[in-house]
Structures are given as C-alpha cells and as structure tokens.
Chain A
C-alpha cells in the first residue's frame, strides 16, 4: 500500500488527522457503484484500511503531556549560574533548529506547524524493553526539576537557561539497556510537511546525535520537557529534548522520537556533514579551537537591547568537576 503522505508512521501517527488516499478513492468507487452498499458497510470497511502495515498503535497517555508553553511545576535545584537566566525572548527567538530553517529567527517563525501531541518515542537496539513509549511513560511529570545551566553553542555564543526536566539516567533506567549497550543514539522528529527547513538536504535527516553510555548516565545530563517554568516551545525542541551542559549545543537532540542503544559509536548529523569541524565528543573546550574560529571566549546573548558582551569560555563550560573524570587520559584535542 503506497501512502506517500504517511512516510512518518514510524514516529507520529497522523492517521487520525488525514483520510488515507486509498480510503478516499475506495469510497468514491463505492459511491459510484451506485448505492448498492449502505453507509454502514462503507464505515465498516474503514478500520481495515486505516491500519496499514507497519503502523503502530499510539500508546495510551501519549497525549497527556502539557502542551507547548503550558505552566509546569518543578522543584528548584542547586544547579545555578551566577548571572541568572537569559531573557526568555532570546531563548525562544534565537534558535538553531535547521529543520525549521538555517537563520536563528526561522524556528520561532516556522515551528508552529509541528504537531507535538500525541508524542511517542520508539526505543530499540540493545535493550530488554524495546517498544513505543508515550512521552508520559518516559518522563515523570510529577518529579520535574528545574536546573539553571549555561548553554554554549559551537558558534561561540552562550545563554543561561532554566531547564525543566528529569535526569536522563532516570529515563534510561526505565528502558533497561543491556550490558552490551555502549552508546545511546537519539533521533529528531522528521516530517517535511511540518518542517519547512527539512525540505532541503542541509543535513542528513532525520537529525541524529549520540552519547557514550557514561555521558548519558551522568547526573548533569537532562531529559528536558520545559524551560522558564513552561513546557518547551516548538522552536526549542518540544516536547522532549536532551540537555548536555558541558557539550556544545548541537550535541543535544530536539523533539526526540527515537532512542536506540548501540554497541559502536553512532554516526551523528554534524559529524557526517563536516567531521573535520564537528567531532563526536564536542566537549566545550576553550583550548581546542574550531578550525574556523576561536573557542576561547563567547558572545553572551541577551544583553540590553540585544547587545552581547564577551566572556571567557570555561573548560567543560564550567562543569569540569562533574565530568572531567569521564575523559581522564583522553587526548581532548584529538577527540574533539
């Protein structure tokens, strides 16, 4: 069965919204057949057609998460940054989310078409609990934490963001990875109808990123569902994204639809696009420059009227104490 507008059945089931073409055509044929069949038999034929091969039933609870921008309650934590959070308008208005366009202002303009409910995540690979999970099965919305982290982009700018989420390790614990799982790969939602920027092959879609298992399990690594006291806006990766504060921003995965446990280092979107400039580790490091610009300092986004001053970049973005041990003995210039 060829349903060209349903190429994303793996991720988000749109069958509730769009009448599959075949049903539409079948109905017309039946009508044309001349009223031999009553309305009842037409409706009776629907269920068979509306569940094409490969489609997965939406897990219960997939629509129960707070909608984009809805208020969230989260307990405060000790994770803080001295300067305090960046103004929220900068966080929601200045985004890198190439599926919605390459300009920083594109995502805020174009992301509204994306559907974030129901939301399910496919879990596969080296795990004892593969399957489709409702977002509410992965994230315990009753135990959300707020953590204020510095967010450092590889393009040498930074913000301070009050994220809301749960430690990624609490999510992974539910997914029962096998001992053979050495890495975890994340995949972003991909739908050219809803993501205008994904129509051009800017990167290899869908966007994929990955972490070493110990990085994923580190207490700092967050599975975020909100920021600034609200559920994530679409341009910031709603409804579910990773936050890895000691790495450059592109190591995070927005609007996650797949989590895969694997044995070997995964191919990641930017590494595939330009491996000389964007490595697998991409830890924030003022001493290892990007080939085209220095990483020693960064432009601070969100000053008065937008003016951005500079600050010196910290090793591991200021999280050296919590993460340096994971890279002991590694040549960080080689493993950039």
Chain B
C-alpha cells in the first residue's frame, strides 16, 4: 500500500513529479529569499519584503487557481486526457498558497492576532471576500482524495467542487480591490483570464456540449 501511494504521488506518469516540482518551486524560491534576507543579503524582495511576500503568495495562489480552471478546457480542446491526472495537485497547491497568503498576513502584518484579523474580515470588504474564498477552498481540499470521491459519490462531489467557480470570482475580485489604480495591471490580467476560462464553460454549457465522458459518470 505504501508503495502504491508513493507511486500515485511521484510516479506512473511523468507529468506527476514534474508538476509537483513546478508547484513547489515558488515556495522553495520564497524560502531561499527569506534565508538570504535574514542573513543580511539583498534580495528581489527589496525594501518591503513583508508586503512583497504577501503579494507574491497571493499572486501565486491566484495564478495556480487559474491554472486549475484551465485544465478542463485544455483537455477538451486538445483531447489530451492525461492532463486531468494533475488537476488535483494543482488545485491543492492553490489552496496551499492561499493558506500561506493568509498566514503571512496574520503573522507578519497582524502580529498573529486573530482578533485583529477578524476585525479586518468584518470591516474591509476585500479581506471579507478573500477570506470567504479561502474558507470555500477548505471543503474542496478535504474532499480531494480518491476515498472521498468514492464515499460521497460523483454527483455530490461534483456539487461541492462546483464551488471553485464562485470562489475564483471572489479571489480575483479580492485581488482587484487592492489595486490603487487600474494601471497596476496584474489584477486586471487575472480577471481577464478568469473571464475567458469561465466564458468558455458558459459557451460550452449553452451549446449543450458540456457532457462528461461516459467513464466518469459511471
């Protein structure tokens, strides 16, 4: 069993270990930057590393979330089925970085004070939206095992994981609300990509072609 779990995580398909390495790379990079900084070295984080770290984690989370949403369109357009093998780990990585993003804010910005964090959630709209998005990711992460899919049944599981659409909209809105002006382009680009990914689904759905392959509904 241990052997097969190992294979499921690292082996079987070349894409699995490669994706895992790619998804962990931003975290390793950030960790290296912090080690260099705390030893007095200069880093690309510049003179406001706390803010830099916070934005880096948030941007990474959103981009990986968008990558999760891109898996199905890529599969359906290219017909390359194996890509679905890496969707779960991409989604889990999005949750991982979103959680770190929140923890970095709580620790580095709010001094680990849950009271201050809660005040922010209540008062500041963009934090409210970001926090809801993060909370909505929890059930998705917890049900991302083969066992849970079996236990819940595909239909219930699908219904839970449909939450990725509203939570992605919340996350991108949270991102956009932090812009000082629309000319700080990144959040605008994130929103545009999300619009394309969701728009594609809407078109497929309205054309009535969004049917799952037979083996998945079994």
State the A residues within 8 Å of B (CB): 90, 93-94, 102, 104-105, 157, 200-203, 273, 289, 291-294, 299, 301-302, 304-308, 310
Contact = CB atoms under 8 A, between A and B. Distances in A.
B180 A306 contact: no
Nearest to A93: B47
Given A292-B126, A306-B43, A310-B111, 15 more contacts: A93-B47, A104-B48, A201-B183, A292-B177, A294-B116, A299-B48, A302-B47, A304-B38, A304-B40, A305-B37, A305-B42, A306-B48, A307-B38, A308-B48, A310-B109
A162 to B, nearest CB: 17
Nearest to A309: B50
A195 B166 CA distance: 41
A94 B50 CA distance: 14
Contact of B42 (A202, A293, A294, A306): A306
Contact of A299 (B37, B46, B50): B50
B213 to A, nearest CB: 45
B49 interface: yes
Interface in B30-60: 36-43, 45-51
B145 interface: no
B178 A292 contact: yes
Contacts, number: 67
Nearest to B180: A102
Interface in B95-122: 109, 111, 116, 120
10 contacts: A104-B46, A201-B183, A202-B181, A289-B123, A294-B120, A299-B48, A301-B48, A304-B38, A308-B50, A310-B109
A291 B128 CA distance: 13
B209 interface: no
B183 A202 contact: yes
Contact of B181 (A105, A203, A307): A203
Counting chain A CB atoms within 10 Å of each CB, which of B37, B47, B111, B178 scores highest?
B47
A213 B162 CA distance: 59
Contacts of B42: 305-306
Interface in B163-218: 177-178, 180-181, 183-184
Nearest to B181: A202
A302 B116 CA distance: 25
B37 to A, nearest CB: 4
A306 B52 CA distance: 11
B155 interface: no
Contacts of A301: 47-48
Contacts of B43: 305-306
Contacts of B126: 292
A294 B46 CA distance: 23
Given A202-B183, A203-B181, A293-B124, A305 B38 contact: yes
Contacts of A306: 37, 42-43, 45-49
A203 B36 CA distance: 37
Contact of B183 (A200, A289, A308): A200
Contacts of A292: 124, 126, 177-178
Contact of B46 (A102, A105, A304): A105
Contacts of A93: 46-47
A289 B123 CA distance: 10
A273 B181 CA distance: 9
